[in-house]
Structure 1
Amino acid sequence: MMQTLCTLRRWLRGLEPQVRARLEGSWLARFQPWLEQRAMFRFQRQPLARGVAAGMFCGLIPGPLQIPGTLLACAWLRGNIVAGGVATFYTNPLTTVPLYAAAFYLGALVMPGEQALPAWSSVSPGGDFSVQALATWMQALGTPLLVGLPTLAVVMALLGYTTVQLLWLVPALQRKRRWGRCC
Structure 2
Amino acid sequence: MASYAYTLRHWLRGLEPKVLNHLHGPMLERARPWLDRHEVFNFNRRPLALGVAIGMFCGLIPGPLQVPATFVLCAWWRGNAIAGVLVTCYTNPLTIVPLYLLAFQIGQWVLPGSQVLPPLPTMGTGAADWMHGLADWVQAMGWPLLVGLPLMGAGFAVIAYAAMQTLWLSPAIKRAWQLEKRARRHK
Q: TM-score range by the shorter chain?
A: over 0.9
Q: Does 2:140 correspond to 1:150?
A: no
The 5-angstrom pairing of residues 117-128 of structure 1 reads 117-120=117-120, 123-124=121-122
Q: Does 2:17 correspond to 1:31?
A: no
| Alpha-carbon distance in structure 2 between the residues aligned to 1:73 and 1:180 | 40
| Alpha-carbon distance in structure 2 between the residues aligned to 1:108 and 1:148 | 8
Higher deviation after alignment, 31-40 or 72-81: 31-40
- The 3-state SS of whatever aligns with 1:29 is coil
TM-score by length of 1: 0.93
The 5-angstrom pairing of residues 9-88 of structure 1 reads 9-88=9-88
- The 3-state SS of whatever aligns with 2:29 is helix
CA drift of 1:125 comes to: 8.9
Describe the superposition over 1:138-158 as per-residue Cα deviations: whole angstroms up to 9, x where unpaired: 122111111111111111111
Cα RMSD (Å): 1.8
Higher deviation after alignment, 139-148 or 94-103: 139-148
- The 3-state SS of whatever aligns with 2:36 is helix
**Aligned partner of 1:124: which letter?**
T
Specify the alignment match of 1:168 in structure 2: 168
| Alpha-carbon distance in structure 2 between the residues aligned to 1:170 and 1:161 | 14
| Alpha-carbon distance in structure 2 between the residues aligned to 1:103 and 1:139 | 13
- The 3-state SS of whatever aligns with 1:115 is coil
Q: Does 2:173 correspond to 1:179?
A: no
| Alpha-carbon distance in structure 1 between the residues aligned to 2:107 and 2:26 | 44
**Aligned partner of 2:30: which letter?**
R
| Alpha-carbon distance in structure 2 between the residues aligned to 1:137 and 1:131 | 10
CA drift of 1:118 comes to: 1.8
Q: How many residues align?
A: 181
| Alpha-carbon distance in structure 1 between the residues aligned to 2:47 and 2:29 | 20
**Aligned partner of 2:153: which letter?**
A
Describe the superposition over 1:150-180 as per-residue Cα deviations: whole angstroms up to 9, x where unpaired: 1111111111111111111111100111122
Specify the alignment match of 2:114 in structure 1: 114
Q: Percent identity?
A: 52
| Alpha-carbon distance in structure 2 between the residues aligned to 1:111 and 1:101 | 15
**Aligned partner of 2:43: which letter?**
F
Specify the alignment match of 1:137 in structure 2: 137
CA drift of 1:124 comes to: 3.1
CA drift of 1:30 comes to: 2.5
